[in-house]
Chains A and B, each alone.
Chain A
Amino acid sequence: MSTATKLLLARYADCAMWLGRYIERAENLARILDVNMHFSRDARGSQNWRSIVQLNADEKRFDKAYDVASYANVVNFYVLDRDNPTSIISAVRSAKENARSLRPLLSTEMWQHLNMFNNHLSTLSAEDVKPSELARVSAMIKEQCQLHTGITEGTFFRDQSWHFYLLGKRIERADQTTRLLDIKYHLLLPMDQTVGSPVDVSQWNALLRSVAGYHAFRREHPRGMSPKAVAGFLLFNSAFPRSIWTGLSEIDSNLHRLRSDFGLRAGNLAMELVDETRAALESHTPDTVVNFGLHEFSDYLQRQLNAITTEIRRDFCGFEPMTDSGMPDGQMQHQD
């Protein structure tokens, strides 16, 4: 292996990770909005839009900018609002800005696609996201993210940056799955007594559809649908691409490859954190997780994923841990 392909600038590693993360985040947000619109209705038949704000822990910023959690406000906040760093438009813009820094390493096709995707999003208006259009817009965003994934798979040079890119993507995907489990928690918290009722099942059904997991779940569980089985599937299934188990094992594998294929010595602590999290996951069954509390366990997983991210950035890229461990706002601002 030549020196040129062996060395990777620390800053590039970080940008690759965030590029993977932001696109994954945009895709998941589109999934959540779509599914909330079309499948999730509470016992009174109305959609609970505030739950999306809650699951992203965005209440403070949302309440500052909007008076009520109406359809129009929440969808605007998460799709079009450029001032909201957790909106889809901001995520794609951040992906593009990280790509701009990483551009020396990206394929022309990757860059061109991100450019066009970002340009297309910036033409969207409130008209384009009204209730009758949301399904189409969500599908477009999801498909553009998938197109990015496909172009990347087929054209991105498989040096270290590929593994950092995948680390970002897989950490975000696992994080989003924990949040999806949590949305359920938020929706059902006020009415525990309805567990198992028809409405409840339709919500778990919606949850699975949002991660393209309904049919996969049916292959494992041809009959019935209990909250416990769905939660267990999303947490423990080793064949489902968006399960926590799959995510952690892929993260582990990327960290190993960075060390074995590229001779890097960093990443010890990150791997220990991954091991610890996998051990915690394996010590549970669907029963014990529900008894322990789904919300609490999701919370634990999110904290671990944050810690893994912080540790990768510190050890490979030389970034000191951020004080605000939640959002990676302003990751593109390397130029100070």
Chain B
Amino acid sequence: MTGDDLLAAYNRGPHWCEILGGGGASSSHGDDLRTRLAGFSLTELMRRADLAERELYNLGITFTVYSERDAIDRILPFDVLPRILSADDWDTIESGSKQRVTAINAFLHDVYHEARIIKDGLIPAELVFGNPYYREQMRGVAVPHNNYVNVCGVDLVRDGQGRFKVLEDNARTPSGVSYVVENRHMMLRTFPELMEEMPIRPVSNYGQKLLEAVTDLAPAHVDDPQVVLLSPGVFNSAYFEHVFLAREMGVPLVEGNDLVVENDHVFMKTTAGLAAVHAIYRRLDDAFLDPEVFNPESLLGVPGLFGAYAKGNVGLANAVGTGCADDKAVYAYMPRIIRYYLDEEPILDNVETHICREPEGLKYTLDHLDELVIKPVGESGGYGIVIGPRASAAELDEIRAKVIDDPSNFISQPMIDLSVCPTLIDGMVEPRHVDLRPFVVTGKDTWVLPGGLTRVALRRGSLVVNSSQGGGSKDTWVLER
């Protein structure tokens, strides 16, 4: 390494680093990148970063914020320094994600049929049947290949020892995959000399893999099934991704008003009249799918769609009712769910979770309140979370009272030291915390997109990677073996 090493002044601190590794052992999988980066000055790196951001904006790789009279396009900040995963790490992630999705699908099939797992006492009935995302209407409905979750985003973090852990499952309509592919394209255009002959596994066939999986869901007797992507429309913040996927799949992007159901069959309105639709990749939540069955106020959905689905005349990805499997309360049971259905040990661990509805979990939580992160199970988006080490005595007293009052509404987890990755910040290369969302696609079979979305918390010290909280993204390289 020459003195020009861009990472010479980089200090990963006490954290695991995605390029350098952690502790005493340093990783070698980032060496090639470091050598190539040595040819760059910081000024040149910043210039390229600038060009890349401008290009993202011009290409309209944006999410859109609507005000009363304007549509404002924003880009997801893009960091040009890639995150690299070794072939070994990827093996763990890939097999662990597949295992998890297989177990989730077995669990969903069970809870919508015999519910053995509940009868066997492994998971409390009210956690499943009382879950707001459990859909009564799905009981006994046959789902193609018994696969309910056709697209799953498994959110992973890496702890101080370099172990990947699952933070949460996204089994409804996970988003972000368009950034994975577009970030790669952007890197190829902006840094050809970093990428040339680098043994990186490709990501650009995602659309075709997704189309295959969704096609697997069409009624078996249809020869050349018509697949469509159902979007809530241009006002949805993920509309860019819907367009991206429709283009990559080569299928029409439809809105609810473009579809109509007649005699339990789905049709789209074309200039030549009605045309049959056989499988739908829907980016619309259950509640909005069909006003006749779910939220009657929904104008985004298609009246009669659920009837056509339940009769097997149209495939839906994901299936209706998957939300009862990716909820925080059920998450805590996921290691047991994997053992129960697959008779295997989980390849990817959960973050250690204490279930307060169970006496040991409650006792541990109350005894270690000031060391733990306490989460209410019914909330999302970070609401109601108390971070023990950062809470005041009064806040700790308050949460103690709440947990004692209603233990089953809480879980607790240790603070996790998220790994870091070198990131270009104001002309310096600094460590910033990252997570990873691999995308798992399942039709008849399961396939995992090599890599996934690396989100990066651009604020110093921040562990929050969400785009609404100053998060950005990086290209994620999985090296060939």
A contact residues vs B (CB 8 Å cutoff): 3-4, 6-13, 82-83, 97, 100-101, 103-104, 108, 111-112, 115-116, 119, 160, 164, 258, 262-266, 316-318, 332, 334-336
Contact = CB atoms under 8 A, between A and B. Distances in A.
Given A4-B250, A104-B247, A108-B59, A335 B255 contact: yes
Contacts of A97: 71, 234
Interface string B217-257: 00000001010000011110001000100110011111101
B252 A335 contact: no
Nearest to A11: B258
Contact of A317 (B243, B251, B271): B271
Contacts of B268: 7, 9
Contacts of B57: 115, 119
B69 A82 contact: yes
Contacts of B70: 82
B141 interface: no
Given A3-B226, A82-B69, A11 B239 contact: no
A15 to B, nearest CB: 10
Could you say which interface size class chain B belongs to?
A: 20 to 34
Contacts of B275: 7
B233 A334 contact: yes
A101 B60 CA distance: 13
Nearest to B252: A9
21 contacts: A3-B226, A7-B268, A7-B275, A8-B271, A9-B252, A9-B258, A9-B269, A11-B269, A12-B252, A103-B247, A104-B243, A104-B253, A115-B57, A115-B60, A116-B58, A119-B57, A264-B271, A264-B272, A318-B269, A334-B255, A335-B300
B299 interface: yes
Contact of B270 (A7, A104, A335): A7
Contacts of A258: 271
Nearest to A316: B271
Given A11-B258, A108-B59, A262 B69 contact: no
Of A115, A160, A332, the most chain B CB neighbours within 10 A belong to A115
Given A9-B258, A10-B270, 5 more contacts: A3-B226, A97-B234, A100-B239, A112-B60, A335-B300
Contacts of A100: 71, 234, 239
B471 to A, nearest CB: 23
Contacts of B233: 334-335
Nearest to A116: B58
Contacts of B269: 9-11, 318
B58 A10 contact: no
Contacts of A115: 57-60, 73
Contacts of A266: 271
A3 B255 CA distance: 20
Contacts of B247: 103-104
Nearest to A108: B59
Contacts of A112: 58-60
